[in-house]
Amino acid sequence: MEEKLAALLEEAVDGVMDEVIAFRRQLHRRPELGFETFETMELISKILTEAGIGHKTHCAESGVVARIPSKGSGHKLALRGDIDALPVTEQTSLPFASEIEGRMHACGHDNHAAIALGSALVLNRLQGRLPGETLVVFQPAEEGPTLPTGARRIMAEGHLDGVREIYGLHVSNELMVGQIGCRCGNFMASADMLNVKFTGKASHAAYPHKGVDALLVACRFVDAVQTVVSRMSDPLEPIVISFGRMIAGEAGNVLAGEAQLWGTMRTYNKELQRRALAAIEQMANETAAMYGATAEVKITQAIGSVVNDKRTTQKLERVARELLGEEQVVALENPSMGGEDFSGYLDAIPGTFYNLGTSDGVNREPLHSSTFDVDERALRVGVRLMCALALDPER
């Protein structure tokens, strides 16, 4: 980036950071779930309107897409920040802790939204230096559970038609403030939702031979299904199958006539994904039959794997090294088994997803924790980098 533009960027970023941090804290106080982020949408719209930034509301029901025009001939670029929270009860002592019981920005989307807002405000100030039109997406429902999630809804409604590259980020307490984590290719795994119901026959627990114990069948299945990981897939191909919820029976002295399981499967390999899902269904049916029960398997392919485009990843690394310093750009050795619906954009648009360091060296609380928080100095880093990507002349 040329010296004059770099100085203008720093000045513009400094000029919006108080508003960015205040906005983040307001979102943290008032977390909203899924597609019901209407209060958040209205707040974003109010700030954009006051700044004179054109935008659409009610995108994917309760999201916002802002447009920063340009007189340049470069192609259209998009920056994305998700805005929904999680059904988690906050246990921090923050002065701006969640005011809504059972809801919390435990995944850091309040920070993503604040960085997106700051980027829109800065790029609007530097509009004359933009090489091409830039869209800033404030996306609801990244976390689900309603499907399709927000990214696919944004795409299906045509809000990103004509976009040629897209960037998104996720806060990470595994990296220090000032660092970013990059990786070309596989970055995050696909996420399939599993629901398996076993139906047997209830009976008195003292006479188990007169019933079919659905709880026992479910336990046998949960144990057996791990052979899909240990014996039916290449040990060098990552795959995770986990069941986190089960409901069975109504009393301790009655064999369960029905048992229902909910879980997830994660992988990067589409062929392995296909074979593993088929094996899970077959194993459920065969385990049930072995004990005289029946099985019903429902599989929902929620999100695909996040696969970062080579060209845009190289651009991210180049811009980040110039802006943050060589040592601050961390090459991630392994992809994550976590899921992210940013894949809904990457299926159609070349782009890159990266991790933004938010740890101060003491705070290492993981995502989705009831005590999760970030060092707010990271917000400035995020705004600077997102804006630098948009201002880069190579588009």
Residues 242 and 320 in one domain: no
204 is in an annotated binding site: no
Q: How many CA atoms within 13 Å lie on the side-chain side of 125?
A: 16
What's the pLDDT score for residue 388?
98
Which pLDDT tens digit goes with each residue over 175-214?
999 999 999 999 999 999 999 999 999 999 999 999 999 9
Residues 15 and 68 in one domain: yes
Residues 299 and 285 in one domain: yes
Cβ neighbourhood burial of 203 (10 Å; 0-12, 13-18, 19+): middle
**Quick one: tokens of 20?**
């960015």
CA-nearest of 169, 187, 173 to 387 is: 169
143 is in an annotated binding site: yes
Residues 225 and 370 in one domain: no
105 is in an annotated binding site: no
165, 188 Cβ separation under 8 angstroms: no
Residue by residue, DSSP assigns 21-53 as HHHHHHHHHS---TT--HHHHHHHHHHHHHTT-
What's the pLDDT score for residue 101?
96
Residues near 97 by beta carbon (within 8 Å), at least 6 away in sequence:
28, 29, 90
What's the pLDDT score for residue 395?
83
250, 282 Cβ separation under 8 angstroms: no
Q: Which range marks the domain in which residue 276 is found? A: 190-303
What's the pLDDT score for residue 144?
81
Q: Final residue of a domain: which of 303, 321, 353?
A: 303
255, 211 Cβ separation under 8 angstroms: yes
Which pLDDT tens digit goes with each residue over 127-185?
999 999 999 999 999 998 788 999 999 999 999 999 999 999 999 999 999 999 999 99
351, 308 Cβ separation under 8 angstroms: yes
Residues 224 and 283 in one domain: yes
Residues 156 and 20 in one domain: yes
Q: Give dist(CA 296, CA 261) in Å, integer.
A: 10
Residues 163 and 176 in one domain: yes
Q: Final residue of a domain: which of 303, 332, 350?
A: 303
Q: Which residues in the chain show pLDDT less than 50?
A: none
Residues 296 and 320 in one domain: no
Q: Final residue of a domain: which of 283, 303, 323?
A: 303
326 is in an annotated binding site: no
What's the pLDDT score for residue 254?
97
376 is in an annotated binding site: no
